[in-house]
Structure 1
Amino acid sequence: MAYSPCPNDTFVFHAWAHGLVPGAPALDVTFADIDVTNGLAERGADCPFDVLKISYAQLPYVADDFALLPAGGALGRGCGPLVLTREPGVALTGRRVAVPSERSTAYLLFRLWAAAEVPGGVGEIVVLPFHEIMPAVRDGAVDAGLVIHEARFTYHHFGLHRLADMGEHWERTTGLPIPLGAIVARRSLGPATLAACTDAVRASVRRAWDDPDASREYVREHAQEMDEAVAGQHIGLYVNEFTADLGEDGHGAVRALLTRAAAESLVPPVRPDALRLP
């Protein structure tokens, strides 16, 4: 399996990765940024991993080979990507905007927001590593930056202003939670193993909730020098009831995102049955 070193992933998968889930399939973990796992999943049969964390925006490109597991991903409310600027109230029409990836769910949400809220559209899109975006906005290298995860809690340290919250726009226009990251597994594993993986994820999540201190060192080890308090906020924001079970609201949010995006020709269409386990 490949997932990110972000605190929400290490918190969720700690128990499974450490053999603490009785009867779960053995797990060999590789840490990789979600941009990397997005690309790996697109290799289909040549992907070296059976289970991966990817962006929901990537799902239409890999749904023939990978099934969406209804647990372990990142959805929620009040947890959307932000657009940051040096000065408040900047008009983004024709401006340079830094984004962490052009295949991320954050960028997909941004494009849906910009289509509705930025007359004439934004200007040049600049892809930068996540950790370089806020300094680039602060230093004037770009006019705005699209940020995710812990940047919700730290952008003030860079003297930046929140221009817009993609999650607020999504929730206001759909009433649904915000889909961000998905857990997918190779369809060729077969229904029984896919079900066993889902059960293992759910058991791992519940164990993390029951004993949050058990994963503390694992989270800290891989948190990339993130402040422990920020890591805790990160977990609190992105690990919630949808992590244990997408449910109807979660599946509805994913369908709505991909249907809207396909209607705008931003992603290929995806069959509704591709969002459910076989």
Structure 2
Amino acid sequence: MSQTIHLGISTCPNDTFAFHGLMNKLVDWRGLDFQVELLDIQQLNDRLFAGDFHAAKTSFHAALLLAESTMVLPSGSALGHGVGPLLLAAKSDDVPQNDSQVTLCPGQHTTATLLFRLFYPQTTQVQHVVFSDIMPKLQQQAADFGVCIHEGRFTWQQEGLHLVTDLGELWENETASPLPLGGIVARRSLPAETMVDVQAVIHDSLQLALADPDSALPTMRQYAQEFSDDVLMQHVKLYVNDWTVDLGAVGRSALQQLSDRAQAIGLVAPGTAGLEVYPNAR
């Protein structure tokens, strides 16, 4: 009897692109039975904390807090240059400066929220909303600022919003490393051979999509119908890269820097083990 793997991924185009092959069983499942659930990233984080998945996409912020029970898989991560969240303002020339202002963030355990805390400590109230609600609420001036992720990187200007800063650029300038946003984590309780097979299937699915990107568009459209194909592929080009296929030494170094900085602001206790990447699989 095959082992069931409850896999959680996000509805974002980079995930539906990368997992198109796995979701449609266009790659060898290696004897596993994948049950795939697609959710918003904060919902994925919350469900991981509840112990619901064998493997799932998660924010690296959340992964830091789950490091004792999970390991990061080498394939499936989103990190790179020019991929950071944008801090947007409802009004031009406005900057975060006091707690009478409100900043919307896309979830308590998202890496976007961690970056805001790193670079704007002790400024503004923070409220957490679903990422897709941030720009509409800024347009309504229901908040002063918003940390915008995903497709908002490409559409904020046409929505009449104003750029305060690119949080990813701040990270890159300070660390000289790509920004780690999120990755696939697997439960340490999985047997080693199962971990190897899960990693291999994800790697194969990525390679399939990269070999024929247009083949993944129907799956991507299913979960992002409001965006044009051009915007969907822009998203893929930005968030799917060599580090998505395999974190490598540079990716592992970036995760270590994130671990160190999280300790520096008290997100995790000093001396806590950082993010551990599972050894490259066959």
TM-score normalised according to structure 2 size: 0.90
Structure 1 contact 191–277 (Cα < 8 Å) conserved: no
The residue that corresponds to 1:72 in the other structure is 76
User: In 2, are the aligned partners of 1:34 and 1:54 still within 8 Å (CA)?
Assistant: yes
Change (3 A) 1:23 1:268: same
Confirm whether residue 84 of structure 1 aligns to residue 91 of structure 2. Answer: no
Alignment of 1:11 with 2:13, yes or no, is no
Letter of the structure 1 residue corresponding to residue 142 of structure 2: A
Shift of 1:3: 0.6
The alpha-carbon deviation at position 123 of structure 1 amounts to: 1.8
Greater fraction of residues in strand = 2
Structural mapping, 1:1-278, within 5 Å: 1-22=7-28, 24=30, 25-43=32-50, 47-94=51-98, 95-115=101-121, 121-268=122-269, 270-272=272-274, 274-277=275-278
Note closer, same or farther for the CA distance 1:219–1:65 as it changes in structure 2 (3 Å cut). Answer: same
- What are the Cα deviations for residues 5-26 of structure 1, in whole angstroms up to 9, with x where unaligned? 1110011011122222235333
SS of structure 2 residue aligned to 1:3: strand
Determine helix, strand or coil for the equivalent of 2:266: coil
**Contact 1:73–1:183 (CA<8 Å) still a contact in 2?**
yes
Q: Aligned pair in 2 of structure 1 residues 112, 29: CA closer, same or farther (>3 Å)?
A: same
Cα distance in 1 for partners of 2:241, 2:269 equals 29
8 Å Cα contact 1:19/1:26 also seen in 2? no
Structure 1 runs, 4 residues or longer, greater than 6 Å off: none
| 5+ long unaligned stretches in structure 1 | 116-120
Q: Secondary structure at the match of 1:189?
A: coil
| Change beyond 3 A, Cα 1:8–1:268 | farther
Q: What is the count of residue pairs matched by the alignment?
A: 269
**Contact 1:96/1:122, CA 8 A, preserved across alignment:** no
Q: Partner of 1:118 in structure 2?
A: none
Q: Deviations over 1:215-255 (max 9, x none)?
A: 11111111142222211111111011111000111111111
- Percent identity of the aligned residues? 38
Q: 1:261 to 1:86 in 2, by over 3 A?
A: same
- Structure 2 counterpart SS, 1:26: strand
Aligned 8 A contact 2:217 2:229 in 1: no
Following superposition, the deviation at residue 197 of structure 1 comes to 1.4
Give the counterpart letter for 2:87 in structure 1: V
**TM-score of the pair, normalised by structure 1:** 0.92
